[in-house]
Structure 1
Amino acid sequence: MAPQTDLRRIRRLLATTAAATVVVLVPTACDYAIASDRIPSSQTQLGREGQQGQVRNASSQSGTQDASTTAPTTAADAPEQTGGAEGEKQQAPASSTAQAPADEEKAAAPTSAQAPASAAEKPAAEQAPKPNNGLDVLAQDCSKSDLPPHDGFQKGDRCVSTAFGEVGGAAENPSLLITDAPQAVSAGQEFTMKVSTRNLIRDRFLGAAAGGYYLESSVLKDGIQRGHFHTACRMLTTTDAAPDPAPAPAFFLATQDNKGGAGEDTVEVKVTGLPDKGLAQCAVWAGDGSHRIPMMERANQTPAFDVVRIKVD
């Protein structure tokens, strides 16, 4: 027991020599500071508290406020409570233990800069519009067409560059219906068909023969289509196959009477007579100012057209 007592006294004597103590202890503190730079602030604070907790307790008990005496007391008293040299060996694992979670966090968890970036990129990618909505669009204008431009006259093998124009809402899209027509007529006999139109202002008609065909974009007035409607009757040679589209119909008329509108009204169309016996197909369909069937908001809406068949004796 005597040798241990002498050893303690020697250590306390050395602790009172401030100059020697500073030279010995400062490198130890700097080594810890260098290691603590690689530890998060919360871990560093915890490590400092672990090392200095006993010092603060000893200082509070002794009432010592002098920093020059507090530091030597720490170095001298610590071996008494932790086992001398063994206490110094325990400090190194403590700093390593504090570093390990920090290294694991860096390896396992994404950085604060990466996480928000990846979270922000996904919504941005979802909101970014895709070219042509991601669809394989063949053409949107005549820039790549080999055909000559359409000139407003009724010619085929041309490319029409006129923009589609305005399209109204579903509830305002045009519709029409044949509400009355004979089931049979005699050849050459004049007869009347009644046509009801809705959401069609019948005030716009560019003469196709004058060069107004497919020349004008669709135009709305207060959300309602401006245009007219057509009536045509053609003779069917068979009902087992689609008819030849090329021949002109037996009867054709465009109705532009400056009436119509958002409400429904009925127009009487007089057919001057069909010359041939057989089965006639009489159709009506709406047109915009340049004779195209008006566009609709949705693809599953029925276009503004109707058709009946009349027997011609």
Structure 2
Amino acid sequence: MKSYIFNLIVLVALFSLDFIEAKREPPNKYITPIQAGICKTALVKSNGTQNPNGECSSQILGDLPSSSKMVSTLIVSPENGAEITANKRFKIRVEISNLQTGFFADPATDYYDVPQTLTEDGIIRGHVHISVQKLIGNGIPNPNLVEFFEGLSDVVDNKGGLETEVPGLFPGFYRLCTMTASESHQPVVMPVARRGSQDDCIRFSVT
């Protein structure tokens, strides 16, 4: 009788352990910025201003679109390989898909401090920057040196494009790139790694 009771107690105990194990939630693989120790370095915490000395941001990424609504851009003017007259004004035109343009936070006070957001249709709210750099042979350009830079804060026209004018450049070889951004100027964040680029670059000469 004692042996029967002992065996029954053991079975109940084992069953209880299995039940508890089955109910136990899997470990959380997502951590908060505090848990990760983010912004505990010597870098100052970001406050919405642009700091050329570096800073630490614990801002969350925000909303990511579906893969069917990822951003794509194309520079349509000037054409890649174009020859442009020196010191003469010329137009840059960029066409964009899947970006609700016109959302442009003040870069002096709201830089990188607003998470990425989507419209009701699942489209990223943001804008496009234009950057022109001079190239010297096959050397990698210095990101601190730009010949022309502009944030295009307008809403796209009825053809899905944005335009600006460059006041003229000295003779040389140049690279023109788009930098597509969310409202707070951070690069747009896409839902998958295997994809086409959200930005475009061309090269042209000025003579």
TM-score by length of 2: 0.79
CA distance in 2, matches of 1:164, 1:218: 6
- CA radius of gyration, larger in: 1
Identify the residue that residue 115 of structure 2 maps to in structure 1: 217
Tell me the amino acid that sits aligned with residue 219 of structure 1: T
Identify the residue that residue 309 of structure 1 maps to in structure 2: 203
- Residue 280 to residue 114, structure 1, CA distance change in 2 (3 Å): same
Identify the residue that residue 204 of structure 1 maps to in structure 2: 103
CA contact under 8 A between 1:233 and 1:251: conserved in structure 2? yes
Q: CA deviation at 1:38?
A: 5.8
Match of 1:195 among 94, 103, 117: 94
CA contact under 8 A between 1:296 and 1:303: conserved in structure 2? no
- Residue 198 to residue 264, structure 1, CA distance change in 2 (3 Å): farther
CA distance in 2, matches of 1:131, 1:201: 33
Map 1:79-228 → 2, pairs under 5 A: 111=11, 113-114=13-14, 117-118=17-18, 121=21, 123-124=22-23, 128-132=26-30, 139=36, 141-142=38-39, 144-156=40-52, 157-182=54-79, 183-208=82-107, 210-222=108-120, 223-228=122-127
Match of 2:135 among 236, 239, 248: 236
Q: CA deviation at 1:311?
A: 1.3
Q: CA deviation at 1:171?
A: 1.7
Give the secondary-structure state (helix, strand or coil) at the position aligned to 1:207: coil
CA distance in 2, matches of 1:117, 1:257: 62
Tell me the amino acid that sits aligned with residue 168 of structure 2: G
Q: Which has the higher helix share?
A: 1
Q: CA RMSD in A?
A: 3.1
- Residue 38 to residue 158, structure 1, CA distance change in 2 (3 Å): closer
CA contact under 8 A between 1:283 and 1:305: conserved in structure 2? yes
Give the secondary-structure state (helix, strand or coil) at the position aligned to 1:111: helix
- Residue 189 to residue 296, structure 1, CA distance change in 2 (3 Å): same
Identify the residue that residue 272 of structure 1 maps to in structure 2: 167
Q: CA deviation at 1:162?
A: 3.2
Q: CA deviation at 1:225?
A: 1.2
CA distance in 1, matches of 2:36, 2:177: 31
CA distance in 2, matches of 1:202, 1:169: 18
Give the secondary-structure state (helix, strand or coil) at the position aligned to 2:68: helix
Identify the residue that residue 297 of structure 1 maps to in structure 2: 191
Tell me the amino acid that sits aligned with residue 177 of structure 2: A
Tell me the amino acid that sits aligned with residue 211 of structure 1: T
TM-score by length of 1: 0.55
Q: CA deviation at 1:270?
A: 2.6
CA distance in 2, matches of 1:145, 1:264: 47
Aligned identity (percent) is: 25
Match of 2:182 among 288, 303, 312: 288
Tell me the amino acid that sits aligned with residue 165 of structure 1: G
CA distance in 1, matches of 2:117, 2:18: 46
- Alignment length, in residue pairs? 199
CA distance in 1, matches of 2:29, 2:93: 46
CA contact under 8 A between 2:155 and 2:162: conserved in structure 1? no
CA distance in 1, matches of 2:117, 2:142: 32
Give CA deviations for 1:239-268 in whole Å, capped at 9, x if unaligned: 1x4222222x111121122347xx972233
- Residue 290 to residue 39, structure 1, CA distance change in 2 (3 Å): closer
Structure with larger RCO (C-alpha < 8 A, sep 6+)? 2
Tell me the amino acid that sits aligned with residue 265 of structure 1: G
CA distance in 1, matches of 2:203, 2:69: 29
